[in-house]
A and B are shown apart, each in its own frame.
Chain A
Amino acid sequence: MDSKSRYDIRLEDLTVGYGEKAVVSDVNVTLPGGRITVILGGSGSGKSTLLKHILRLHRPIAGRVTIGGHDIFNLSRKALRCLKQRLGLLFQDGALLGSLTLFDNIALPLREHTRLKEKAIAEIVRAKAGLVGLADFLGYFPNQLSGGMRKRAGLARAMVMDPEILFCDEPTSGLDPVNSAALDDLLLELKRRFDMTLVVVSHDLASMRRIADHVVVLGQGRVIFDGGLAELEATTDPYLRRFLERRAEESVGEMLTLPKLDPKVMKIDCSKYLGDGGR
């Protein structure tokens, strides 16, 4: 088994959801090791739910998930601990611990899982925070940071143990275009330098086009595409074309033909105070 296929992630006959209610059914895909796989789909298509099941945060309704050939739901306690220490996850909102400073948040896995001295931990934390441009904010608490900064801090924490597989849940949502591009570059660099396996859940088409080696598209409760980026761009599937070309459904236009709200139904007659501009 070469170093890349060591971290192939296989989803076999996987059905995920909450309770008995399936959100995504019959998933049979392989997320290749050493590559960036983007899991694409509209809002509510089950991307994050699928990710949480791949990460063993929930049990699937049916099917299995293997990482490097190991069924993650049938691992011994020690094997599971070893596997978890090789994984990193960037949550949608960072999921930083609110009671800890940024420094302590990033340092937490090192303090829990290594015998490193505080001085060495501080060096690693500063280096990882520097990678995401947050070296000057280490003394801040999460609620003192913007959404984008929290997300970048979450990435620094996810990277602090030098994981071999990094999962990112909508890494660019809420970031400005410059920071989005910087984050994409960072993910590409991580793959290139460390041969890292990355699984990115996103609906950001621009980001997907920059970073994806492999794309899985979810829709209508199932996988509707599994293949390379070039293959996706050449697809003739109407749903995928509409998604890739960012075309809204026709029915949205019809909704705008609804009559405007009658000013007489308003509780305050704003035209008295603002003239006709107040409706």
Chain B
Amino acid sequence: MSQVQKGMLAPVTALGGASLRLVSEMGAMFLFFMDSFRLMFSSFGQIPKTVRQIFFIGVKSISVIALIGLFTGMVIGLQTYYALSKFGSEGFLGAAVALSLVRELAPVLTAFMVTGRAGSSMTAEIGVMRITEQVDALEIMDINPMSYLVSPKLAACLISFPVLTTLFDLIGMAGGYLTGVSLMGGNAGAYLYRIDSSLDWEDVSGGYIKSLVFAVIVCTVCCYQGYFTHLREDKGPEGVSQATTTAVVMSCVLILVADYVLTSILY
């Protein structure tokens, strides 16, 4: 092949190489998830570790989720009230706030916030353990690092995400009430009635399914990036910071991609 042909094919070669790497990494992450999921049920000893992780991932995220939920609900309440009032349909405010929160915003924004707060620290924690030989120490002590480090985090994410999403839903609806009813003077009875009448079980269960899928994505991506920090070119502290950045960006992108796919399937 001549140099000119090689030059012309270079972008295609690069794209092909990148695609293969992406597919390969996704496959490795899937196997990583399967292994950590299997080890979740390996022994009763996982329970105290999982409880500690629920405290870190779930309980410590409550305040930030409550704050974000409140302001998100308030903004939706305000914006939707303005839009609906143009058509004289303020009475549908409760339905609009509830549906947008339960179906879409609560699972997605909760996942984003937990990625930023807990996901990044999961990557950094495991990454630092990797570069300081703590993961090797676990292996030498015949303690499976996946079982000790990753599985309790996965279990904690699977428990915490739906609970935090529910909290986001409730506080968001209260936020919508504050602006749409208390501030703008909408009808309180109509707001609550429309929430009750418009929400179906499919909406709620769809939100929960999304939150569980996001839990798997966030935990798998963040733990995977930390766990394999030592395979990066830079194996030191810079490698940990790069792994953390990659974990957060990749989690956010995958959350949005999965959100689109799930929305297409579920509703």
Question: Which residues on A are within 8 Å of B, measured CB to CB?
Answer: 52, 55, 57, 81, 84-85, 87-89, 91-93, 95-99, 108-109, 111-113, 157, 161
Contact = CB atoms under 8 A, between A and B. Distances in A.
Given A91-B133, A98-B134, A57 B139 contact: yes
A91 B129 CA distance: 13
B142 A84 contact: yes
B240 interface: no
Interface residues of B, number: 15
A88 B143 CA distance: 13
Contact of B140 (A84, A98, A99, A111): A84
Contact of B132 (A52, A89, A95): A95
Given A85-B142, A113-B142, A93 B132 contact: yes
A88 B45 CA distance: 23
B128 A98 contact: yes
A91 B136 contact: yes
Contact of B129 (A85, A92, A98): A98
B141 interface: yes
Nearest to A113: B142
B266 interface: no
Contacts of A89: 137, 140
A93 B129 contact: no
Interface string B119-139: 000000100110011101111
A55 B140 CA distance: 8
Contacts of B45: 111-112
A97 B136 CA distance: 11
Interface in B133-190: 133-134, 136-143
Nearest to A81: B142
A99 B132 CA distance: 13
Q: Which of A81, A112, A157 has the most chain B CB within a 10 Å cutoff? A: A112
B136 A52 contact: yes
B128 A95 contact: no
Nearest to A80: B142
**Main DSSP-derived SS at the B contact region:** helix
A161 B140 CA distance: 12
B142 A95 contact: no
A95 B137 CA distance: 6
Nearest to B144: A112
A52 B132 CA distance: 14
Q: Which of B134, B138, B143 has the most chain A CB within a 10 Å cutoff? A: B134
Contacts of A108: 141, 143
Interface string B194-211: 000000000000000000
Contact of A97 (B129, B139, B140, B142): B129
Contacts of A93: 132-133
Contacts of B140: 55, 57, 84, 87-89
Nearest to B138: A97
30 contacts: A55-B140, A57-B139, A57-B140, A81-B142, A84-B140, A84-B142, A85-B142, A87-B140, A88-B140, A89-B140, A91-B133, A91-B136, A91-B137, A95-B132, A95-B133, A95-B137, A96-B134, A97-B134, A98-B129, A99-B125, A108-B141, A108-B143, A109-B141, A109-B142, A109-B143, A111-B45, A112-B45, A112-B141, A113-B142, A161-B141
A55 B133 CA distance: 13
Question: Sorted from nearest, which 10 A-B pairs have the closest CB atoms?
Answer: A84-B142, A95-B137, A95-B133, A89-B140, A109-B141, A112-B143, A91-B133, A95-B134, A57-B136, A97-B134
A14 to B, nearest CB: 19
Nearest to B147: A112
A55 B136 CA distance: 10
Q: Which of B132, B133, B136 has the most chain A CB within a 10 Å cutoff? A: B133
Nearest to B136: A57
Given A84-B142, A112-B45, A97 B137 contact: yes
Given A52-B136, A98-B132, 13 more contacts: A84-B142, A89-B137, A89-B140, A91-B133, A96-B134, A97-B134, A98-B128, A98-B134, A108-B141, A108-B143, A112-B45, A112-B143, A161-B141
Nearest to A167: B140
Contacts of A112: 45, 141-143
Contacts of A113: 142
Nearest to A99: B125
A5 to B, nearest CB: 23
Contacts of B128: 98
Interface in B245-264: none
Contacts of B141: 84, 108-109, 112, 157, 161
A88 B133 CA distance: 14
Contacts of A87: 140
Contacts of A55: 140
Nearest to A88: B140
Nearest to B128: A98
